[in-house]
Structure 1
Amino acid sequence: MRALIWIVAIFAVAAGIAMLAGQNEGYVLVVSPPWRAQLSLNFVIVGLIVAFVLMYVLVRVLRRTLGLPGRVARYRVRRREEKRTKALHQALRALFEGRYGDALSSARAADAADRTSFEVAVVAARAAHGMRDARKRAEWLDKAGEREGGRAPRLLAQAGFAIDDGEFADARAALDALRESGHRSVAARRLALDLALAEERWDEVAELVPQLQSERALPVDEARRLQRAARIAGFRRRLGDATETAAYWRDLPKEDMADRVLIAEVVPMLAATGQGGLARRTVERLLDDQWDSELARQYSLCAGDGAEADQALKRAEKWLAAHPDDAGLLASVGRQCMAAQIWGKAQSYLEESLARDARADVHRSLAELFERLERTDDAARHYREAARLAQG
């Protein structure tokens, strides 16, 4: 329908122009002595239009002819970029699929198309690392570092390779160079965490985990596990100094104080330095919030002395009324009764705990109890059972 309208319109305009031209009797006189020419005005108008069109076409052809070298150059650049991009995509796909040889070949093709791309050099270095070809890896890393924008990616890749190879000094040097250049990224912090874990630098782990967690770079469960391991290592390192152990305990953040697995691990270490009483309120709060048999087993280690021990025993006996069959709590109450020299109750609770869950530590507690009661045969029997369970 639209085409028909255009055809009708064109014919109408043509008819109109023909009618106007038929009524136009004007002429144009051109004088150039000794010549004189008289031309129809319609002919002159048509001639001017034709001349304008011819001039326009001539200028367009001339411009396209003069611009041809530039268009050819741009076409070559575009083709080269397309070739580089295709080869780079192939290299990345092969790298992710573990086809390191194919990845390196494709990266070479991409590099041949554009020798200014640091991305290609880094991909090639990672492929060479997957092939365990240290020489080629070093060559490609050098190329990446020499190209514009490639210094930080080269150092990141170099640090990761060094950690994989166990060259921790080289990895730290690369990460230090990144830090000095002002580079701050999640990838750099993640590599720093991997290096700290490999070198067992637990203070660094404890510092890096919250940073990565705040940027959602670590799953919650993994962050908690790493933070717990770092805290436990911190307590172990301070075991010989009661003052430092107590200070480290007091500096624990709230999220660590709410970690019942961590507290259960830490209480024996606090008790070993004579600081077990520091954890008593924390253990009581955690057990009141949610019952935990393993944590209850450690309660006797933080019961304290004197009046505090009496209060702790009363608290444990209240729990026992609510959890009469809990083996961990029975063992803890038995040890508290031993400390209070309530021998009969101590033996009864410890034996009940053994009946529900035979453990080496409860056998040792019973052996120590029987030694105090000068029942050497019974003590020896429980020591043997403790040794057997510990070995098995």
Structure 2
Amino acid sequence: MRRTALTAIIILLLIAGSFFAARYLFEDPGYVLIAYNGYTVESSLWSLLLALVFAVVAIRLIAGSVRLLIGSAGLIYPLSAKAKQRRAQKLANKGLILFANGHWQQSQNLLAKAGDMGASPLYSYLVAARAASANNDMDACKENLRKADEVAPAAYMAIGITQAEAQMTQKQWEQALATLRSLRKKSPKHPYVHKLLKQTYEKLGDWQALADILPVLRKLKVLNGDALETLEQKIYHELFEQAWNKGRNQRDKTARVAPANVVWNSLSKAQRRNHELAYGYARCLYRLGADDDAEGFIRRNLPAIYSAPLIRLYGRLDSDDKGRQLLTAEKLLAERPNDPDLLLALGRICSRDQLWGKSREYLEASLQLRHSLDTYNELGRLMAQLDEHELSSGYFQHGQALAAEEEV
């Protein structure tokens, strides 16, 4: 209400002012003479003032028009740029959907085009490279990686990892290894690079290289505890297998066991306490015909590395000093009186030392604790040695029946 009244008052004042101005305009228009350099301009005062007002308004209109034209040009460009950006993003989104659905060729084409149009170019080129690799088009893959490097050279790790994964997809293991080693130099603590290295070394069968990076895999927690332990066992199983292959044809015993000793000596203190690794080393020595070396190794490290496979192996060793071997096993029996594997080992040691009675006692005690094919067979052989053929035949038959049950 107050605003309406104020507006009305202003309008009345303007009307009154216009009336008085018109009155003075007609009563005394005034006179203005302007002379300059031989030119003169004559006019009434009010006419001159009106001309000046029109001039100012014209100048302002011209300036406003110029600004409008400039602003229109600036408005058109952003609109066209935004439209182009929206189109590029649509291409990228469609390309990603096609990639997720396994349409590699179409995905690669759309994402490469989207990258060229500036839609998240690094990401678009990297996914385009993956699509090209999945489509077995390595030339297109390399071209997209090159473009990615041009738009974002600082993203060398992401580009390199994509390249390595593409090479692995194509089973180009040597090339992938070269790429990953280069990345590892640039980023020595990168977990995913080490995970890819682990996979590549496994495919190449480079078990020593895997053993070398095993501490880093553990430190970076690339694998969980169970997976890491499984990998460690596999690595050293393969390394001891290689050691056996290297040494088995050597006539000299020292030369035969040297490769196995190299593997064992490369282990850390913690690894040497690992039952599986200790068994792998002792078994390798046994297979190389170095029974005394294996017996000495097991005896020196018992009971710290005691395990069922290891004690069964100890019972198979044909040591030159069978008395010491028997004494070692009997000392363990005082600590483990109900261990069927240890009793089986004692029975075998006594049989080789022709201690038939003790062997029978140990083997029968083992059989009472656990029915096993090995124990039945050992008793069968022992009874045959003692000319108790009916008993021998019975033990062998029980063993065959047990084996048949286990197969089922």
CA contact (8 A) 1:367 1:380 kept: yes
Q: Is the partner of 1:317 in helix, strand or coil? A: helix
Contact 1:122 1:141 in 2 (8 A): no
1:333 is aligned to 2:346: yes
What amino acid sits opposite 1:162 in the alignment? Q
Residues 1:318 and 2:326 are matched in the alignment: no
Change (3 A) 1:275 1:313: closer
Q: Is the 8 A contact 1:159 1:171 kept in 2?
A: yes
Question: Residues of 1 paired with 2:266 and 2:45: CA distance?
Answer: 110
* 1:84 equivalent in alignment to 2:97: no
Aligned pair in 2 of structure 1 residues 356, 61: CA closer, same or farther (>3 Å)? farther
The 5-angstrom pairing of residues 238-253 of structure 1 reads 238-239=243-244, 240=247, 241-253=256-268
Once the two structures are superposed, the pairs formed by residues 52-91 of structure 1 within 5 Å of their partners are 62-63=66-67, 65-91=69-95
Q: 1:117 matched to which residue of 2?
A: 121
**In the alignment, which residue of structure 2 is the partner of 1:256?**
271
> Per the alignment, in what secondary structure is the counterpart of residue 234 of structure 2?
helix
> How far 1:36 moved relative to its partner?
8.1
| Corresponding residue number in structure 2 for 1:129 | 133
Amino acid at match of 2:225: V
Q: Percent identity?
A: 19
| Structure 1 pair 369–201 and aligned structure 2 pair: CA distance change class (3 A) | farther
Separation (CA, whole Å) in 1 of partners of 2:375 and 2:32: 132
- 1:26 aligns to what? none
In structure 1, the residue matched to 2:25 is none
Hey, what does 1:269 align to over in structure 2? 284
TM-score (norm 2): 0.66
Equivalences for 1:173-188 in 2 at 5 Å? 173-176=178-181, 178=183, 182=186, 184=188, 185-188=190-193
Q: Map 1:13-32 to 2 at 5 A.
A: none
Question: Structure 1 residues 368 and 262 mapped into 2: Cα distance closer, same or farther (>3 Å)?
Answer: farther
Post-superposition offset of 1:198: 0.8
Structure 1: state its 5+ residue gaps.
Answer: 1-6, 23-28, 39-46
What letter corresponds to residue 340 of structure 2 in structure 1?
A: A
Match of 2:233 among 225, 228, 234: 228
Residue 249 of structure 1 and its aligned partner are, at CA, apart by 2.2
Alignment pair present for 1:206 and 2:206: no
Tell me which residue corresponds to 1:138.
139
1:47-97 CA distances to partner (integer Å, 9 max, x unpaired)? 9xxx89x96x98677556425444443444444334334433443344345
CA contact (8 A) 1:118 1:143 kept: no
C-alpha spacing 1:284/1:308, structure 2 compared with 1 (3 Å): same
Q: Is the 8 A contact 1:333 1:349 kept in 2?
A: yes
- Which has the higher Rg, Structure 1 or Structure 2? 2
| Match for residue 163 of structure 1 among 168, 176, 186 | 168
| Counterpart amino acid of residue 268 in structure 1 | R
Residues 183 and 251 of structure 1: CA distance in aligned 2, closer, same or farther (over 3 Å): closer
1:338-362 deviation digits (Å, cap 9, x = unpaired): 4554322222323443565555544
Aligned residues: 362
Query: Structure 2 unaligned runs (5+)?
Result: 17-29, 35-41, 47-52, 248-255
Question: In structure 2, what residue type is equivalent to 1:319?
Answer: E
Per-residue deviation at 1:202? 0.6
Deviations 1:162-220 (A, max 9, x none): 3334333333344455567x365433322221111011111111223332332232222
Matched, 1:278 2:297: yes
1:284 is paired with a residue whose SS is coil
For residues 93-104 of structure 1, what are the structure 2 equivalents within 5 Å? 93-100=97-104, 103-104=107-108
Tell whether the 8 Å contact from 1:363 to 1:382 is kept in structure 2 after alignment: yes
Give a deviation string over 1:205-264, Cα, whole Å, max 9, x none.
122333233223222221211111111212222232323423432432244345434444
